[in-house]
Structure 1
């Protein structure tokens, strides 16, 4: 079908009121069988939860009106979308012939009947087990596309996809459906600080709209040259920006599709595995279930829970009992920060910092303040979340730079040139993009406890009365990151990974 409802769906999800005429036009297209079942269900769901209405041209139940207009042109898939949408207004699952092995109608009806009567947190408590089962079935591919779209749209408009318990439940199910890395071994660290030699990650949720340079990917490679094993770098191609993490690495010669669980297991099983190492885990290789969800998400025109799940389903977290040793996760909305931190706490994550630049940037900002949420060590049987702010000058001793000068290239190839120049030491400290990378690399070194020797429990940084974190450990981490670049070790880590990926591709093709 060539017609699309994306403009009106995006308008509604952006809290802009669609006019009755616009809604009429959309319903006309549906009644002429020119719109996909997924977008049909998404629009009817959005109208239900926002209260937006068409003109008197469409009175009564919209699903009935459309079915009547379609007559014998109503396909089973479209009928599935329309009858499922009826469950929203009635609060009970409509009866209709099944079009998939698992039906989400009852759950969708329960969400609709509870909305407005209970808070989102109470709904999450009551519906948690049912939603967990739904995500399991979605990951197995047993749900219809239309019902999956209606459920995801319902979670968006009810705020359930911003509840930590629901996000954690979805992450657990996607982890269970992912490909494990068997026999993954960790090797003790002999470097400074309490860093135990575990695997670390730094990643953002994306979708912040700033289209900055691929800083988390570059910071990960820099940190890998500082005696830290960055196997956990987990990402994919761009969906909302010009150049995603996978795009830039592929343009530099990495064969990411060939880095399978067997390849990674072999890399880290070697007795002589170097203390400094980098490995990128390409999401489509380890989470094939996400491939079938992607087309549905692209039709909905609204943010879904899957926008925030990517950083939470790193294969390391379900391949070894202890999971990642440390991680930094960036979010593009400040209100998501404490939710994400609570989600990670529920998932049992260790050494975690969630960050959000004041510009709603999913990285530590080079331009000004960054909000941060740190999951601390257990105290009195509980791990508390500490909130504070970071600043390039006040925290790291680096100059500030506006986001406009750290935009990077418009294409992966252009960003690859910048990354290569930085790792080769041709972009000194003080260059805006270099400082941007150093901020994020230094923070990961601090979170990983890989900066210097200190006694257990010793605190060498503090949060001031102004809410800004300061301390020598942050500036020392900047110097440590610079050492990784200037020594050439960060670049060598990258070259080893590229060589491994290319050898794996040749072996798989032979």
Structure 2
């Protein structure tokens, strides 16, 4: 069946919603060969995915996935990026997630092990003894108790394994790179999403708005980071109250300092852990601290905790300064991981 749709793509024609839904069903099962799947994805990328095609793909990923529904008071969010910027920075989004949660937010973090970077969100949580394969019910309770928890993509989207080999065969970005961060198992309606290309800033919002999104902030920095960056200006699209605003965020206008990319890069997994800890305990270099604060600020805005970047940045700063972020991490690891791993990393 998928061959028929590949031929349509080869002619440079778009697939309808129903056609893409059917094709996606083929991609996510184990009845089609990896080479057929790779050929389809390659031709889809070559043609360029339409919003309709991406919307259909996202719906099918979601339909095949496992979901949770934490009973939390407040707005549940996620903060994540599409990855693939290959700039080898420390894990900014995971670090910011703890700052957001310690500031009163609720973060249902969804992610994977690193593909292009050194340390993905799963690597960080796993290092401290968090069970990546914990049952959904347990993760639900963790989020309800701590205001933060982690959902391992491979656990919650088991059908994605059926397209893994095809993606490796292609060896380049496909639609799945964009869709991964959009299919949160907690079905959050509010997200801070870093995208790998400026073209996806508004497109991502259009697709998620169609799925009932509330507050969505998509970001792309001038240096290519799929995060809010302090190394330069950032292009941002913000969906709130049904309206989308496009803006340029200059960190220096909010009292932050222009950073060098070298100051936020790491070269080993050990450095990734140290960067994560040093930001949360307030001892990291200024560049690491401030880029975390800026991204936490974006998360606080989509959480409805702050109305603007000025207030959100101050909240995030104080959370780190008052040791609330590190205190949350300590309590979290003591309950959900191995406290000795944290003590070992501290020494």
Give the TM-score normalised by structure 1: 0.63
SS at match of 1:307: helix
How far 1:325 sits from its partner (Å)? 4.4
In the alignment, which residue of structure 2 is the partner of 1:153?
42
2: CA distance, partners of 1:153 / 1:300: 7
How far 1:417 sits from its partner (Å)? 1.2
* CA displacement, residues 75-118 of structure 1 (integer Å, 9 cap, x when unaligned): xxxxxxxxxxxxxxxxxxxxxxxxxxxx31211122223x2xx5
Distance of aligned partners of 1:180 and 1:447 in 2 relative to their CA distance in 1, 3 Å threshold: closer
**Do residues 264 (structure 1) and 139 (structure 2) align?**
yes
SS at match of 2:90: coil
Among 320, 333, 336, which residue is 1:498 paired with? 333
**Do residues 110 (structure 1) and 11 (structure 2) align?**
no
Distance of aligned partners of 1:141 and 1:494 in 2 relative to their CA distance in 1, 3 Å threshold: farther
User: After the TM superposition, which segments of 4 or more aligned residues of structure 1 sit over 4 Å from their partners?
Assistant: none
Mark the runs of 5 or more structure 1 residues left unpaired by the alignment.
1-102, 189-196, 318-323, 379-383, 452-459, 461-472, 504-510
How far 1:210 sits from its partner (Å)? 1.3
Distance of aligned partners of 1:483 and 1:234 in 2 relative to their CA distance in 1, 3 Å threshold: same
Mark the runs of 5 or more structure 2 residues left unpaired by the alignment.
339-347
Q: How does 1:65-464 map to 2 (within 5 A)?
A: 103-113=1-11, 115=12, 123-124=14-15, 127-160=16-49, 163-181=50-68, 184-188=69-73, 197-230=74-107, 232-258=108-134, 260-267=135-142, 273-274=144-145, 277-317=147-187, 324-378=188-242, 384-394=243-253, 396-407=254-265, 409-427=266-284, 431-451=286-306
How far 1:361 sits from its partner (Å)? 1.4
1: CA distance, partners of 2:334 / 2:24: 37
In the alignment, which residue of structure 2 is the partner of 1:483?
318
* CA displacement, residues 22-79 of structure 1 (integer Å, 9 cap, x when unaligned): xxxxxxxxxxxxxxxxxxxxxxxxxxxxxxxxxxxxxxxxxxxxxxxxxxxxxxxxxx
Provide the alpha-carbon RMSD of the alignment.
1.9
Give the TM-score normalised by structure 2: 0.91
Distance of aligned partners of 1:105 and 1:251 in 2 relative to their CA distance in 1, 3 Å threshold: same
2: CA distance, partners of 1:131 / 1:439: 37
Structure ranking higher on relative contact order (CA contacts 8 Å, 6+ apart): 2
The 8 Å contact of residues 255 and 498 in structure 1, kept in 2 or not, is answered as no
The 8 Å contact of residues 235 and 246 in structure 2, kept in 1 or not, is answered as yes
How far 1:180 sits from its partner (Å)? 2.0
How far 1:265 sits from its partner (Å)? 2.9
The 8 Å contact of residues 252 and 416 in structure 1, kept in 2 or not, is answered as no
Higher Cα Rg, which structure: 1
2: CA distance, partners of 1:316 / 1:131: 24
Distance of aligned partners of 1:266 and 1:446 in 2 relative to their CA distance in 1, 3 Å threshold: closer
